[in-house]
């Protein structure tokens, strides 16, 4: 699916590519390679902001890699060298912990939400969180393509499917679905004109990069299972990854997460 000029900035985020937040080691110090952080793609904008604050505070760089939670879990089982895993669905972390692939069960760091997203230009759909306009558009044959993350391995895709099933629209919309490898790619499809709209992460909708390009509305939280997001360190996590894990639980990082629409644990 070709990208267009209307695709939101940093289109690499749609395909789960990595970003490195780097820093120069202190004079005379032996630099530690930036730890690789595997993060669900709904975290892209929030986590880059948090990582920049961590670098400013500690001088340590990180390599942030974004993608679908299910794919990361499979890679971890295959020996991928991640030091911290930030999942969009805690079940993946708990299963890894049960099988000895993480240091422990980790901690719940946020609860996410899903939203309907439509581009500001080029779509006849409305940003209606109860999906009544989508229902009418499907009945009238006005939906060519509709984007969600792949529900086979992306938690936000699973929740999108559950919401559509709750609304009684799943069977009608299936022929029009275009599946993103992760929720960031689904958002790119929805904003670029490749689809008439989609269901994406609320955290992405609140980013400046997307807010200017689309219209969004939260879907009721009780239409789908909760997106309880959990993180855990890998057994071989180094000092920098452990410090970042702690940093993520501090007030400054939590405030950034809240600004991107996440509900926070007590």
Within this chain, do residues 122 and 180 fall inside the same structural domain, yes or no? yes
Same domain, 55 and 79: yes
Q: Measured between alpha carbons, how far is residue 194 from residues 16, 137, 261 in Å?
A: 18, 17, 26
> Domain check: are 84 and 149 in the same one?
no
User: In 10 A of CB 172, how many CB atoms?
Assistant: 15
Task: Give the pLDDT confidence score for residue 1 in this predicted structure.
Answer: 32
Task: Answer yes or no: is 5 within a domain.
Answer: no
Same domain, yes or no, for 203 and 126?
Answer: yes
Look at residue 266 and tell me if it is in a domain.
no
Q: In terms of domains, do 17 and 104 share one? A: yes
2 part of a folded domain: no
Residues 204 and 249 placed together within one structural domain of the fold: no
Q: How far is CA 119 from the centre of its chain?
A: 19
Annotated binding site for molybdate: 69, 183
Q: Is residue 4 part of a domain?
A: no
Question: Domain count of the chain?
Answer: 2
Within a domain: residue 3? Answer: no
- 135 and 68, same structural domain? no
252 Cβ contact list (under 8 Å, min separation 6): 50, 53
* Residue 164 Ramachandran class (φ > 0 left, ψ -120 to 50 alpha, else beta): alpha
User: What mean pLDDT comes out for the span 209-226?
Assistant: 97
User: 217 and 128: one domain?
Assistant: yes
Predicted confidence band of residue 105 (pLDDT cuts 50, 70, 90): very high
The whole-model pTM stands at: 0.90
Report the pLDDT value the prediction gives residue 94, as an integer from 0 to 100.
99
> Average of pLDDT values for 11-28?
44
CB distance 64 to 19 below 8 Å: yes
Helices (H), the chain: 44-58, 69-77, 90-98, 132-139, 155-166, 170-173, 183-192, 202-205, 208-211, 239-247, 251-259
Choose among 77, 65, 78, 44: nearest CA to 201.
44
Answer yes or no: do 188 and 148 share one domain.
yes
- Residue 131 is classified by DSSP as -
Nearest by Cα to 107 from 256, 249, 240: 249
pLDDT, average across residues 230-251 = 98
Residue 59 is assigned to a structural domain of this protein: yes
Exposed e or buried b per residue across 199-220, where buried means at least 16 C-beta atoms within 10 angstroms of its C-beta: bbbbbbbbbeebeebbbbbebe
- Summarize pLDDT for 183-207 with one digit per residue, the tens: 999 999 999 989 999 999 999 999 9
DSSP secondary structure letter of residue 263? B
Domain extent, residue 147, equals 112-223
Tell me, what CATH number does 215's domain have?
3.40.190.10
Task: Specify binding-site residues.
Answer: 69, 183
164 within some domain: yes
SS3 call for 230 = strand
User: Would you state the pLDDT for residue 121?
Assistant: 83
Residue 33 shares a structural domain with residue 21: yes
Assess whether pLDDT exceeds 60 at residue 5: no
pLDDT of residue 124: 86
Domain presence at residue 51: yes
**Mean pLDDT value across residues 80-101:** 99
Same structural domain for residues 196 and 123? yes
- If asked whether residues 65 and 78 sit together in one domain, one would say yes
Of 22-36, 99-113, 156-170, 252-266, the range with the lowest mean pLDDT is: 22-36
Place of tokens 């219209």: 215
């Amino acid at each position: 699916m070709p990208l267009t000029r209307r695709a939101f900035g940093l289109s690499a985020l749609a395909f789960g590519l990595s970003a490195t937040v780097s820093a120069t080691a202190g004079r005379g110090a032996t630099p530690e390679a930036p730890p690789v952080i595997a993060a669900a793609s709904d975290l892209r904008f929030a986590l880059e902001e948090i990582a920049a604050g961590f670098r400013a505070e500690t001088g340590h760089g990180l390599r942030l890699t974004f993608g679908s939670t299910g794919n990361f879990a499979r890679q971890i089982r295959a020996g991928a060298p991640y030091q911290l895993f930030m999942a969009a669905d805690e079940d993946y972390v708990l299963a890894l912990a049960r099988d000895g692939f993480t240091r422990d069960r980790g901690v719940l760091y946020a609860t996410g939400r899903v939203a309907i997203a439509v581009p500001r230009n080029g779509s006849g759909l409305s940003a209606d969180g109860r999906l009544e306009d989508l229902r009418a558009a499907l009945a009238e044959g006005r939906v060519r393509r509709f984007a969600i993350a792949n529900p086979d391995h992306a938690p936000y895709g699973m929740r999108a499917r559950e919401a559509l099933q709750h609304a009684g629209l799943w069977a009608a919309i299936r022929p029009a679905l275009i599946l993103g490898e992760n929720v960031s790619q689904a958002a790119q499809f929805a904003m670029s004109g490749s689809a008439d709209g989609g269901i994406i992460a609320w955290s992405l909708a609140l980013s400046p990069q997307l807010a200017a390009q689309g219209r969004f509305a939260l879907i009721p939280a009780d239409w789908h299972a909760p997106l309880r997001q959990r993180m855990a360190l890998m057994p071989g996590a180094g000092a920098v990854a452990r410090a970042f894990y702690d940093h993520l639980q501090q007030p400054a990082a939590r405030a950034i997460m809240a600004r991107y629409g996440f509900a926070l644990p007590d």
